[in-house]
Amino acid sequence: IQGIQGCLAVMPDKPQVLVFDTAFHQSMAPEAYVYALPYELYEKYGVRRYGAHGTSHRFVAGEMCKILGKTKGTKIVTCHIGNGSSISAVKDGKVMDTSMGFTPLAGVEMGTRCGDIDPALVPYMMEKLNLDGAGVNNLMNKKSGFLGVSGFSSDSRDLESAIANGPSDPHFERANLAVNILKFQLKKYIGAYSAIMNGLDAVVFTAGIGENNPHLREIVCEDMEYFGIKINKELNAKTLRQSNIVKLSTDDSKVAVYLIPTNEELVIARDTAAIVSAAK
């Protein structure tokens, strides 16, 4: 709001466009976004799954559709993995489901966020730790995830360094656990999303960790031959810190696996140009 007000004060005659990060997820069906809570919470307060990172998921899914040569009939799982992470099932170019929910706390383990947990843990932690609602919210958002499990860092690069050092590193065991938790969850999402889409054409990795952590990509994709997923381990190992789209799957992989660098700014710029042009 302050940004909007500031622009109005400095450039009152210039149009402003808002691009919402939840917009791409509005194609979800009610069974995907309505929580099994009293329905009036949805009606009165808008309590539902909204998702996040929609601009990123939209961009990489669109690029993957170009590679596949079509939009209709495509079944893609997009994995936006960074300090905040979300996974989406994109069928025919539209989102069927996404891992984040009413807030960005839901879904997979993140840098400092816990992701999905048993909701009954909230009152349990309030009692055991003598915390109020705000305190538990802070614990789940700021003190959990990689940081909470590893006990020393929210940065995946630090965790990967400890893992590479081996058991002699004092942080090895819990760093390895933190990474394996995310690996386990990503595998489950890929499997679940394949089920609701009735198939899978491609898995896309993007965002800071997805683009720059070969180890995580490898362990997520290994032992997935049942789904037809095979990656080129040598190519994957050296694919990081670059701006090109890279096919990571082998030629005989039934499911394509790609690294697609996200470009949310480009999506926002295109939407802004289209809206401003249409308004003239």
188 pLDDT higher than 80: yes
List residues with catalytic annotation.
21
Q: Is residue 231 part of a domain?
A: yes
Q: What pLDDT is stored for residue 240 in this prediction? A: 86
User: Residue 157 to residues 16, 111, 144, 185, 220: CA-CA distances in angstroms?
Assistant: 38, 11, 17, 19, 17
Average pLDDT of every residue of the chain: 96
The answer to the question of residue 35 being in a domain is yes
Whether pLDDT at 227 is above 90: no
Q: How many CB atoms lie within 10 A of CB 99?
A: 26
Overall domain count for the chain: 1
**What is residue 280's predicted lDDT score, i.e. its pLDDT?**
75
- Residue 26: inside a domain, yes or no? yes
The pLDDT, as a whole number, for residue 189 is 98
Is 216 within a domain?
yes
Q: CA 64, CA 217: separation in Å to the nearest integer?
A: 17
Is 279's pLDDT higher than 90? Answer: no
Residue 136 belongs to a domain: no
**What pLDDT digit, counting tens, does each position of 61-95 carry?**
999 999 999 999 999 999 999 999 999 999 999 99
Quote the CA–CA distance of 257 and 117 in Å, as a whole number.
29
Residue 45: its pLDDT value, please? 98
Predicted confidence (pLDDT) per residue in 120-143, tens digit:
999 999 999 999 999 999 999 999
Average pLDDT over residues 11-22: 90
Rounded CA gap, 252 and 249, in Å?
8
Angstrom distance (rounded) from CA 239 to CA 258: 11
Domain limits for position 234: 21-112+180-279
Q: How many CB atoms lie within 10 A of CB 244?
A: 8
Q: 145-161, pLDDT tens digit by residue?
A: 999 999 999 999 999 99
pLDDT at 14: 87
> What is the three-class DSSP state of 118?
coil
The predicted pLDDT at position 242 comes to: 83
CATH at 193: 3.30.420.40
pLDDT score at 135? 98
52 in a structural domain: yes
Residue 257, strand partner residues? 203
* Full-model pTM: 0.94
Please report, rounded to a whole number, the percentage of residues in the chain having pLDDT higher than 70: 100
Tell me whether residue 118 is in a domain: no
Q: Is residue 8 part of a domain?
A: no
pLDDT of 241: 85
